[in-house]
């Protein structure tokens, strides 16, 4: 892993086109380009409304955005706690394996920890072996029966404080 200076920041209004481009790249990676309906206008309505329905983190290296995480709040009745749902995590191919994805997840874990979230959940394509290995390395359990990734309990604090 390279020793990069990775900066994570919350998206701003001027990032809308960049985020839509990342969503497009992610849909191509997932093989779901034909399902892409994202536009800057639609994203603005959900990302910058009050309260925001979704949040976006951008990962930057040398001032250039190289990855993003799109997430929202959820809730677990079993835990009776708020949770975070990670809808998208994407790092551009040349930057994979350099700590960018880890930095995004760590930042997300800090948000979860500071807001008393009981878990972070997301899905992963069963054919994405590198993605599955990456998530497991971060402390996620792959739930075989429903294919949801989960970081919960002490694993949130552990990741947030790595």
The catalytic residues are 135
The whole-angstrom separation of Cα 32 and Cα 152 is 29
The whole-angstrom separation of Cα 133 and Cα 114 is 27
The whole-angstrom separation of Cα 20 and Cα 160 is 27
The whole-angstrom separation of Cα 125 and Cα 128 is 5
Locate 29 and state its tokens. Answer: 């990676």
Assess contact for 6 and 102: CB atoms under 8 A.
no
Locate 17 and state its tokens. Answer: 């086109």
Q: In terms of C-beta density within 10 A (0-12 exposed, 13-18 middle, 19 or more buried), how is residue 26 classed?
A: buried
């Amino acid at each position: 892993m390279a020793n990069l200076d990775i900066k994570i920041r919350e998206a701003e209004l001027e990032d809308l086109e960049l985020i839509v481009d990342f969503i497009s790249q992610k849909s191509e990676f997932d093989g779901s380009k034909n399902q892409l309906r994202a536009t800057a206008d639609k994203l603005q309505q959900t990302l910058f409304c009050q309260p925001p329905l979704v949040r976006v983190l951008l990962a930057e290296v040398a001032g250039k955005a190289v990855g993003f995480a799109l997430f929202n709040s959820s809730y677990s009745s079993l835990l009776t706690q708020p949770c975070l749902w990670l809808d998208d995590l994407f790092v551009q191919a040349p930057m994979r394996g350099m700590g960018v994805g880890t930095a995004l997840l760590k930042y997300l874990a800090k948000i979860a920890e500071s807001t008393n979230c009981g878990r972070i959940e997301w899905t992963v394509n069963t054919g994405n072996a590198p993605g599955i290995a990456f998530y497991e390395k971060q402390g996620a359990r792959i739930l075989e029966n429903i294919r949801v990734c989960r970081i919960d309990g002490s694993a949130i604090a552990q990741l947030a404080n790595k």
